[in-house]
Amino acid sequence: MPLTESLSEVIDGRVVAIEVGKTIDRFVIRGLADADDARQQFEVMKGAVLAASLQIGGGVRVRHDLVIVDDATKPPSDPSLPIAFSEGRSLSGIMLGVGQVSFQTEKVLPAFLAALRFGFSSTQLRLALRDERVALAGVLYVDSYYETSVQAQFLSLVGVLEVLKDQAPRSAAALDMIGRWRSEVKALEDHEAQAIRGTLKDMTTISIGQGIRSVVRRHLGEESAREAKILYELRSELIHTGTTSADLNEARRRAARFANSLLMRILMAGGVG
């Protein structure tokens, strides 16, 4: 695709160059001190691009592993791999793959850049992404835009809610009851007792649905928690029966809005809380 424009932004002391055609073609960070600095800034960049994806309501995918190319290393043949190299070497830079969803650059670029600035400078975002659950939720959100079926898109987006769910213990009375059941399991055969113990262990924390409602309620409010319950029930119906009576395209749109809002709130808050 022919290059039509090149933008350079100084973000948090780094020169971030974005080459723009009809899509965002190339993303380059200049002025890195060494390979360790490159790896650190690459992680920061991934968080910033996630924030930008949320801001524009889409998914910009970044490959997870950074390849360090020195004088003794040939650049990788895959042009979508992110690479770090010495200034002045003729290489293609850090690339972002373009998925099925395309954007009109002139409309999304201002919002994209604003979110990048936030992502590069926000200590709250970096703190939130130290939680592996938040990082995984970001991957699921972005990857949902690369799924080809509405079913896979919907399941990925509800997966964002599931990954971020609260995992609080049940009440003291419930835990006491579970403890009594555990003692009674000894009367069963070993193979059956082992299976029952596993089930009882899972029962010591609130259910997945309760956990989703809890985290959504805390970040988005009670009405959103009720809506999240409906989406999770649709997910369960789809998983267990292979189909659903609901309009799955509309459910996917609702799940995308939910996943987007919840992730953005968590990134701005510095964690799930």
In this prediction, residue 8 has a pLDDT band, given cuts at 50, 70 and 90, of low
Kind and range of the H or E run holding 30: strand 24-30
Radius of gyration of the chain, Cα coordinates, nearest whole angstrom: 22
Q: How many folded domains does the chain comprise?
A: 3
User: Does residue 126 fall inside a structural domain?
Assistant: no
Q: What is the pLDDT of residue 109?
A: 77
User: Does residue 132 fall inside a structural domain?
Assistant: no
Q: How far is the CA of 74 from the CAs of 69, 78, 79, 84, 89, in angstroms?
A: 7, 12, 13, 12, 12
User: Does residue 217 fall inside a structural domain?
Assistant: yes
| Contacts of 18 by beta carbon, 8 Å cutoff, 6+ apart | 6, 7, 8, 9, 24, 26, 27, 28, 113
State whether 180 and 163 are in the same domain.
no
Q: Other C-beta atoms within 10 Å of 252: how many? A: 24
User: Does residue 40 fall inside a structural domain?
Assistant: yes
Q: DSSP per residue over 167-214, as a string? A: --B--HHHHHHHHHHHHHGGGS-HHHHHHHHHHHHHTTB--HHHHHHH
State whether 28 and 93 are in the same domain.
yes
**Out of 66-70, 80-84, 213-217, 239-243, which region has the weakest mean confidence (pLDDT)?**
80-84
Tokens 């309620």 belong to which residue? Answer: 217
Q: One-letter amino acid identity for 105? A: T
State whether 157 and 261 are in the same domain.
yes
User: Does residue 82 fall inside a structural domain?
Assistant: yes
Residue 214 has pLDDT above 70, yes or no: yes
Domain enclosing residue 262, as ranges = 150-167+206-269
State whether 23 and 92 are in the same domain.
yes
Residue 131 has pLDDT above 60, yes or no: yes
Q: What is the pLDDT of residue 178?
A: 58
User: Does residue 144 fall inside a structural domain?
Assistant: no
State whether 178 and 239 are in the same domain.
no
Residue 203 has pLDDT above 60, yes or no: no
User: Does residue 136 fall inside a structural domain?
Assistant: no
State whether 197 and 211 are in the same domain.
no
State whether 255 and 225 are in the same domain.
yes
State whether 91 and 23 are in the same domain.
yes
